[in-house]
Chain A
Amino acid sequence: MSTQEASTGVDSIAKISLHGNRPKPTLKNGAIGVFRYELMRSLTPLRILLWVGLLLFPVILVSFVQFSLIQGGARGEDFLGLTIVLFILLPEVITMLCMLLWATPIVNAELESQTWVYSVVRPKARWAMITGKYMVAVAWTASCTSLSTSLCVLVISMSGAWKVWITLSCLCWLSAICYGALFMLIGTLIQRRAMVIAFFYAIFVEFILATIPAVINQFTFSFRLWSILYNSIDIPKDFLDANFMIQDSSTVGNVAVILAASAFLLSVAIWRIQKSQFRWQSEV
């Protein structure tokens, strides 16, 4: 706003006028805009380092295990065990860690930087924010875990590696989709301490409740992911002596349940944000 510009301000204001032809707010443009913006923000040295670290950690771990197995004259079953370890590491632990970082603070991060108000006062911006941030969380996490899976499978070089790679890669994307939606919902329901709540939720529900031999464990994503793993790879049912953790239903059925549940959780998160009232910080 130089003095010259200020003196011709009315003209300038006329110049920026759209004469009422404002674009209609669309979820597509909004979500793509948020996706691009958040992805750009994720490309900081620290976050890239974290991404690489999470990617390489399973590879290094598997390499050591592989080395010790070969030294000890490993059998086929041992390599199967390595697949299980990879499953626990990638679609479970690392995916949940990434989602704790990306999906859970969805609202709180905006509140802390005092930028949530800009989304609140635009017609479809809340939807776009949730959707765009969810897409980034899934892309960031699944790209890390699926690439790590590829490297790990290369390192293991077991028989049937192709099938293991396909299954684990799909599971990485599926788990990113479902845990992303789940943690995002937690982040919208409990905005201030979402990470703590999500962490304990993951421990008690997805790790402990999922292993309880009762119907209730079928309501966890972990149960569905285990079932897909067992049904897709030729793992003997008594391999882990934990039949209650899996279900013989078709892989398609389990995938459908995961996708439907994710869509439901994401819808609830959007509904919750759309209906919530925003308090300016000075008034809270």
Chain B
Amino acid sequence: MITLHHTTLLYGTVIGINDFQIDLPVGAYALVGPNGAGKSTLIGLLTGAIKPTLGSVSVFGIDPFRDPSVLQRIGLCPASELLIHGVTSRQWLRLQLALSGWDSRKAMARADMILELVGLKDAVDRPIHTYSLGMRQRCKLAQALANDPDLLILDEPFNGLDPIGRHQMTELLKQWAESGKSLLLASHVLHEVERITNSFLLVYGGRLLAFGTAGELRTLLAGIPQEITIRTRSMDELASRLSRMPWLRSLQRDNLQNQLHIAVETPLELYQQLVRWTAEEGINIEQITGIDGDISSLFRLLVSKHRGEVMMTGVMS
């Protein structure tokens, strides 16, 4: 569905997207990264708004910049605020449908149908500038859905939504993904995208840090340095044994809480060794805390790795 082949985009001397290489089949994906990571730039490339400086972009096998006809299959809900005065959502949606090729009469009926789906049925004749932020967000979503796209791209769709609005948006997007259509959801709100899809593209600094399901990313993480906390009553013994391991990068004792804060290069080897020590040599281990299982921690670690910060924080005591 989406193919980026060594795609790079430069804003003058600033890198927007740095050597993206990816081939995504039809499905739902979350594009996750902090503000300024390059998410909107990537969306700009996918919607043909920007031409890559190097490499190529194709959506459904077509370069969207050279052949905009593919945009008919894409619905975009941008992150930017909708600042229109004196226009109702129905009028605005009719315009968007007309721009997609709908004639006036059919556009009217279609606009009403879509606005009902996103819960704006009772506000179709109210000017958009009187809407709440959440209603404007739904209005933007409505125009993205209006032409029944094969690929729905949403840039920070949860911005400005209250908890109920976030829940409703999540439900609708889950249903969209379940309906078999493709979804690309750019967000920095990790726990919300986790509820919608299990496939992530982690971006930072214009680079693709990692791509895969949460499980695949955790497997990936097992092979890269991590910080782990072990609570034990055999602190001296365990500290002594660990300090002899070649994969240990740092170790810090917390005598008050009976904890060892360690940094290891290969967590998998640590876990295997801990199993052996507890089973065969009776080393006591009460608790191990590492990556806490959510994508947020994975992301933080990958970003730290990208920045070269991983393993630099531990101090021996």
Q: Which residues of A contact B (CB under 8 A)?
A: 1-3, 5-7, 9-10, 12-18, 22-26, 29-30, 32-34, 36-37, 40-41, 44, 112-115, 117-125, 128-129, 277-283
Q: Which residues of B contact A (CB under 8 A)?
A: 11, 16, 40-41, 44, 47-51, 68-69, 71-74, 76, 78-87, 91-92, 94-104, 106-107, 113-114, 117-119, 138, 143, 145, 147-148, 165, 167-169, 171-172, 174-176, 178-179, 181
Given A6-B172, A33-B99, verify A120-B143 contact (CB < 8 Å): no
Residue B16 contacts which of A6, A7, A14, A283 (CB distance < 8 angstroms)? A283
Majority DSSP secondary structure for residues of A touching B = helix
Residue B83 contacts which of A33, A37, A114, A121 (CB distance < 8 angstroms)? A114
Q: Is the CB of A128 within 8 A of B99?
A: yes
Provide the residues of chain A in CB contact with B179, threshold 8 Å. 10, 13-14, 17
- Expressed in whole angstroms, the Cα–Cα distance for A23 and B102 within the complex equals 6
Provide the residues of chain B in CB contact with A18, threshold 8 Å. 147-148
Provide the residues of chain A in CB contact with B101, threshold 8 Å. 22-26, 29-30, 124
Q: Is the CB of A9 within 8 A of B91?
A: no
Q: Is the CB of A9 within 8 A of B100?
A: no
Q: Is the CB of A1 within 8 A of B119?
A: yes
Closest 7 pairs between A and B when the two form their complex, measured CB to CB: A33-B98, A1-B119, A9-B175, A25-B101, A1-B168, A125-B99, A23-B101
Residue B94 contacts which of A33, A120, A128 (CB distance < 8 angstroms)? A33
- Expressed in whole angstroms, the Cα–Cα distance for A24 and B68 within the complex equals 12
Residue A25 contacts which of B51, B72, B118, B138 (CB distance < 8 angstroms)? B72
Q: Is the CB of A1 within 8 A of B91?
A: no
Provide the residues of chain A in CB contact with B169, threshold 8 Å. 1
Q: Is the CB of B83 within 8 A of A278?
A: no
Provide the residues of chain B in CB contact with A40, threshold 8 Å. 87, 91
Instruction: Show 22 residue pairs from A and B whose CB-CB distance is below 8 angstroms, ordered by the A residue.
Output: A1-B168, A3-B168, A6-B168, A6-B175, A9-B175, A13-B179, A22-B73, A23-B101, A23-B106, A29-B104, A32-B98, A32-B104, A34-B99, A37-B98, A114-B81, A118-B96, A118-B99, A120-B48, A122-B96, A124-B101, A279-B44, A280-B41
Q: Is the CB of B80 within 8 A of A13?
A: no
Provide the residues of chain A in CB contact with B107, threshold 8 Å. 33
Which chain B residue shows the least CB distance to A30? Answer: B99
Select the residue from B81, B96, B113 with max chain A CB neighbours within 10 A: B96
Given A40-B91, A282-B40, A283-B40, verify A115-B84 contact (CB < 8 Å): yes
Residue A113 contacts which of B84, B106, B113 (CB distance < 8 angstroms)? B84
- Expressed in whole angstroms, the Cα–Cα distance for A163 and B109 within the complex equals 48
Min distance, Cβ B35 to any Cβ of chain A, angstroms: 8
Q: Is the CB of B11 within 8 A of A17?
A: no
- Expressed in whole angstroms, the Cα–Cα distance for A15 and B113 within the complex equals 9
Q: Is the CB of A117 within 8 A of B76?
A: yes
- Expressed in whole angstroms, the Cα–Cα distance for A9 and B84 within the complex equals 28
